[in-house]
Each structure stands twice: as C-alpha cells, then as structure tokens.
C-alpha cells in the first residue's frame, strides 16, 4: 500500500497567507496606497462630438477645480442641466 501524500509546505504557507488576509482589515493599507477607488459605471454608449478648442479649455479648467477631466465635466454639466431644455 502507498502512504498518503504529506501536506506540502506550500500548502501550509498558502493557508497562513489566507488566514492573515482574512484577519487583517486592509482598509488603511488601501487608503495609504493612494489608489483611486474602482467605480463601476453602467454601460455607456460611446459618442463623438466636435468641440471648439476654447470650449475644451473651459471644460478642462472647470473640471480641474473639481478634480475631473473635461469629458467627465461635460457629462456632469449635461446631467445637471438636461431637464432645463
């Protein structure tokens, strides 16, 4: 008869890593890393629009005040004011 295989040290090490992961609260580590949170967005439909350079610059300036890019700033403006039309 064959003897049952022994548990490898790799298995024990993996178990220890899993236990450590489950024991720790990683919130502070994640916040300290400076990584931006993952935002799950609903499916969006890609579009194309031609904007004058001065309008893009204005959007960039307004977006920078909020920490947004010009495309995101444009979406914010459209969402906020769409019902007015």
Tell me the pLDDT of the chain (85 aa) as tens digits: 566 665 556 666 778 888 877 777 767 776 777 777 677 777 888 899 999 999 999 999 999 999 999 999 999 999 999 989 8
Residue 3: inside a domain, yes or no?
A: no
Residue 63: inside a domain, yes or no?
A: yes
Range of the domain at 31: 9-84
Contact call for residues 63 and 52 (beta carbons, < 8 A)? no
Measure the CA–CA gap between 59 and 7, rounded to whole angstroms.
Answer: 61
State the pTM of this model. 0.49
Number of structural domains found in the chain: 1
Residue 43: inside a domain, yes or no?
A: yes
The pLDDT score that the predictor gives to residue 14 is: 76
Residue 61: inside a domain, yes or no?
A: yes
């Amino acid at each position: 008869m064959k003897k049952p295989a022994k548990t490898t040290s790799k298995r024990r090490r993996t178990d220890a890593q899993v236990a450590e992961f489950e024991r720790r609260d990683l919130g502070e580590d994640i916040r300290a890393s400076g990584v931006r949170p993952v935002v799950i967005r609903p499916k969006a439909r890609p579009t194309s629009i031609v904007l004058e350079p001065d309008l893009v610059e204005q959007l960039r300036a307004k977006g920078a005040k909020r920490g947004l890019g010009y495309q995101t700033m444009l979406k914010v403006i459209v969402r906020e004011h769409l019902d007015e039309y």
